[in-house]
Amino acid sequence: MSEKIFIIDDEQGIRVSMRGILEDEGYEVLEAESGEQGLEQINEETDLVFLDIWLPGIDGIEVLEKLNQLYPDLPVVMISGHGNIETAVKAIKKGAFDFIEKPLSLEKVLITAQKALQFARLRQENRELKLRVRNHRVHEISGRSRVIQELRQVIKQVAPTDAWVLITGENGTGKEIVARSIHRQSKRASQPLIAVNCAAIPEELIESELFGHEKGAFTGAQSAKKGKFELAHKGTLFLDEIGDMSLKTQAKILRILQEQCFERIGGSKTIQVDVRVIAATNKDLLKEIEEGNFREDLYYRLKVFPLEVPPLRERQEDIPVLLEEFIAQLSQEHNFKSLKFTEEAIEVLKSYPWPGNVRELKNFVERLFILYPGQEVDVGKLPSEIKNKPASRSKMDLFPELSHIPNNFKQARSCFEAWFLENKLKEYGGNVSKLAQAIGLERSYLYRKLKAYNLGEM
């Protein structure tokens, strides 16, 4: 995609000559003859503006101030046939990148454009670098357990390819960290990773977020906007909580994933993109497919390479490592006095099941930083819900009634489903409607399951 340069000047001859030299260098050039027209047409896709100071209507300095408010990272080069030091200084103080005089040297125009665009790129790279430094451990999942070592090895193998990845795991296990680790080790690492939380965007806005929109496409669309797919061009698109996307949006996503092209909302221009997709979910997508909530064709399109992130209770030996990491990170970020846990306290923490996984552990450490800054944390200082929580048991201990588990997986799953539904049906006094609501199933689907296992209303 070529960089877009906008020229605002009331002299047509100036616009034509500047357009010619800039287009010869491969830039896309747009133009306006007044400040009002320029403000109307410039949007977040614009990479550079050449702006005349003396214009009919609002002058260039006022346009510059408004552009700085709307697009603070957009470089603006002022041009004028009445240049003097005072005017140049005023323009620079107002936020202009540079100031050039008429009659224009086309060579200087080209050199100034190159410098301004390079400056904008360096500023963006610097911002991204600072973010990486602040979150220096966000790109690698931590731990020394066998399952984590195996996960890191698989990430190392799949990352250099362009294969799409489907990451599954409970909330708080670190699915986004895995996605970022894949991107960082890929051939696309120098390009952006654009993350989309599909569960956090309202249904009526998700298409605009993903595909972008043109100005006036709907009420409130005051300017054109790039979508996440377009922003991720040449990089990676991370679709988090993909299981929460509506069937309507799933259909559009599937088409774009297959064709790698789309149109913005309200637009007719086809935009071609080169994007690697990484998706993540905490849901059982096969179950969602069975219940009619997720498209089977989209599932198999995304599941080129599946990865599962284990819950913290299955890698309790990593808890001391994570504690050290969070203590160091929070001490640096918030200038907290360091904490230390006794061996006894760590053993108690290792026995706690951590239903919120690594995210819950980090929040727990931050809470203790506030309560006991600079102190040693023993068992007595641990919260009661952690101290009094029984040690996590094996999965077989959790279901004592299931004394004889079949070796066949499908039969074992059916055995558990029958046991679970029978006990839950008793718990809710045989009320199928309440049971359906409590366990998150559609009532019609639950009825079919009860019928299959010969479990009627009680």
**Domain spans, the chain:** 4-131, 160-308, 316-387, 396-452
- Token readout for 310 is 């284990």
pTM over 0.85: no
For 316-387, give the CATH class.
Answer: mainly alpha
Residue 261: phi, psi to the nearest 5? -150, 160
Q: What single-letter DSSP state applies at residue 210?
A: H
> Domain 160-308 carries which CATH code?
3.40.50.300
Length of the chain: 458
Contact 278, 237 (CB under 8 A): yes
- Output the pLDDT for position 108: 92
- Output the pLDDT for position 1: 55
Bond before 202 cis per omega within 30 degrees:
no
The verdict on domain 4-131 having CATH code 1.10.1060.10 is no
DSSP 339-354: -EE-HHHHHHHHHS--
The CA distance from 320 to 346, in Å, is 7
What is the distance, to the nearest Å, from the Cα of residue 53 to the centroid of all Cα atoms in its chain? 40
Q: Which of 400, 449, 445, 393 is nearest to 422 (CA)?
A: 449
- Output the pLDDT for position 347: 93
Residue keyed to tokens 């909302």: 265
- Output the pLDDT for position 182: 96
| Matching CATH number, 396-452, of 1.10.10.60, 2.60.40.1170, 3.30.565.10, 3.30.930.10 | 1.10.10.60
Q: Which of 385, 413, 388 is nearest to 399 (CA)?
A: 413
Alpha-helix runs per DSSP H in 264-356: 285-290, 296-302, 319-334, 343-351
Q: What is the pLDDT along the chain (458 residues), one digit of tens a residue?
A: 578 999 999 999 999 999 999 999 999 999 999 999 999 999 888 999 999 998 989 999 999 999 998 888 899 999 987 666 777 788 888 899 999 988 888 899 999 999 999 998 888 777 766 655 554 445 678 999 999 999 999 999 999 999 999 999 999 999 999 999 999 999 999 898 999 998 888 877 888 888 888 888 887 777 788 889 999 999 999 999 999 988 888 988 888 888 888 888 888 888 999 999 999 999 999 999 999 999 999 999 999 999 999 999 999 999 999 999 999 888 887 777 888 999 999 999 999 999 999 999 999 999 999 899 889 999 999 998 888 765 444 444 445 455 556 666 777 777 788 888 888 887 777 888 878 877 878 777 787 788 777 776 54
The alpha carbon dihedral of 392, 393, 395, 397 has a sign of negative
β pairing state of 212-213 and 98-101: unpaired
CA distances from 302 to 167, 203, 285, 371 (A): 10, 21, 11, 44
Same fold, 4-131 and 160-308: yes
Contact 4, 26 (CB under 8 A): no
- Token readout for 321 is 């490592």
Contact 266, 218 (CB under 8 A): yes
